[in-house]
Structure 1
Amino acid sequence: MDTALWVVGRGTGVAAVVLLTLTVLLGIVTRGGRPLPGLPRFGVQLVHRDVALASTVFVVVHVVTLLLDTEAELRLLDALVPFAGAYRWFWLGLGTLSVDLLVVLVVTGMLRRVIGPRVFRAVHWAAYAMWPIAMAHAIGTGTDGTSAWFLVIAGVCAAAVLGAVAWRCTAGVTAFRPTPREVLR
C-alpha cells in the first residue's frame, strides 16, 4: 500500500506543479485584459478558476497521500507549520509555506464578495510568491526533483511564466479594469 501512496504522492506533486503554472499563466492573461484565441476574457477567467481548483485538489491529494505513507514519515505538523520538519526541513518548509499561501488564496477567493476587490487583489498577489516557492519545493524535496525529465518540465514551466510576465510588462498590454458587475462574479 505504501508504494501506491508514494507513487500517487509523487504524481500528484508533479501534476500540481504543472497545474499551478497554468493557473498563474491564466491569471496573468486574464489580468492583461486580452482574450485567448477562441476564448473570450470571461472564458479565460472561468478556465483560470477551474484550473486553480484542480491544482488545489492535486495539492491536497499530494499532501494527504504523503501523510498516510509511512515511509514518507511526514507528520501533520510538517504539513501545517513551515520549516518544522526533520527531513529536508528547508525544502519541505517551502512546500508547507506554499500550501499555506494556497489556503489563503482559496479562502480569499471564496470570500471575494465579502472582502471586496481591493483586498482580494492585494492578497491574490501572493500567487506570484507561491508559485516559485512551490517550484523550489518540488526541485529540492521531490524524489524526481533533480531528474532530467522533471527539470525539463520545471524549465518549461519557468520559461512560460517568465514569458507571460514579460508579455504582461510590455507597454502594449494594459491592465484590465473590471466593471463593478464583473468584480462581483
Structure 2
Amino acid sequence: MDNALWAFGRVSGIISLVLFTGTVLVGVLARSGRPLLVVPRFSVTLIHRNIALLATAFLVLHVGSLMLDSYAKLNVTDVVVPFLGPFRPFWQGLGTVAFDLVLAVVVTSLLRHRIGPRTFRAVHWFTYAMWPIALAHAIGNGTNGTSRWFLLLAAGSAAVVVGALAWRVSANFLETAKTRQGGLL
C-alpha cells in the first residue's frame, strides 16, 4: 500500500505542477482581455478557474496521499508550517510555502465579493511567487526531481511561464496598454 501511496503522491504532484503551469498561462491570457483562439473572453476566465480548481484538487491529493504514506510521514504541522518536516526540510518547506500561498489564493477567491477586487488582486499576485517555489520544491524534494524527463518538463514549463510573464509586463499586453493610455501607471 505504501508504494501505491508514494507513487500516487509523485504523480499527483507532477500533474498539479503541470496544471498550475496551465493556470498561470490561461490566467495571464484572461487578464489580457483577449480571446483564446475561438473561445470568447468570458470563457477564458471560466477555463482559468476550472484549471485552477483541478490543479488545487491534485495538490490536495498530493499532500493527502503523502500524509497517509508511512515513508513520507507528513503531519498537519508539516503541511501548514514550513521547514519543520523530517525529510529534506528546506525542500519540503518550499512545498509548504507554495501550499500556503495556494490556500491564500483559494480563500480570497472564495471571498472575492466580500473582500473587494483590490485585495483579491493583491493576494492573487502571490501565484507568481507560488509557481517557482513549487517548481523548486518538485526539483529538490521530488523523487523524479532530477530525472532527465522531469527536468525537461520543468524547463519547458519554466520557458512558457517566463514567456507569459514577459508578455504580461510588456507594453503589448492589452490591459497594460489601456492603463498607460489612461495615465494610471
Q: TM-score, normalization: structure 2?
A: 0.93
In structure 1, C-alpha distance between the alignment counterparts of 2:74 and 2:107, rounded to whole Å: 25
The 5 A counterparts of 1:20-59 are 20-59=20-59
Percent of residue pairs identical: 55
Residue by residue over 1:69-127, the C-alpha shift from the partner in whole angstroms, topping out at 9 and shown as x without a partner, is: 00112222111111111211110000001000100000000000000111101110010
Unaligned runs of 5+ in 2: 179-185
Other-structure match for 2:135: 135
Other-structure match for 2:13: 13
Unaligned runs of 5+ in 1: 178-185
Other-structure match for 2:77: 77
In structure 2, C-alpha distance between the alignment counterparts of 1:59 and 1:172, rounded to whole Å: 33
- Give how far 1:169 is off: 2.4
In structure 1, C-alpha distance between the alignment counterparts of 2:157 and 2:171, rounded to whole Å: 24
Other-structure match for 1:159: 159
- Give how far 1:165 is off: 1.2
Give the letter for the 2:70 counterpart. T
Residue by residue over 1:20-68, the C-alpha shift from the partner in whole angstroms, topping out at 9 and shown as x without a partner, is: 0000111111111111111111111000000000000000000000000
Higher relative contact order (CA 8 A, sep 6+): 1
Q: What secondary structure is seen at the aligned counterpart in 2 of 1:175?
A: helix
Name segments (4+ residues, structure 1) moved above 2 Å: none
In structure 2, C-alpha distance between the alignment counterparts of 1:76 and 1:112, rounded to whole Å: 27
Residue by residue over 1:126-182, the C-alpha shift from the partner in whole angstroms, topping out at 9 and shown as x without a partner, is: 1001111101000000000000010111111100101111222222222178xxxxx
Q: What secondary structure is seen at the aligned counterpart in 1 of 2:83?
A: coil
Q: TM-score, normalization: structure 1?
A: 0.93
In structure 2, C-alpha distance between the alignment counterparts of 1:40 and 1:100, rounded to whole Å: 32
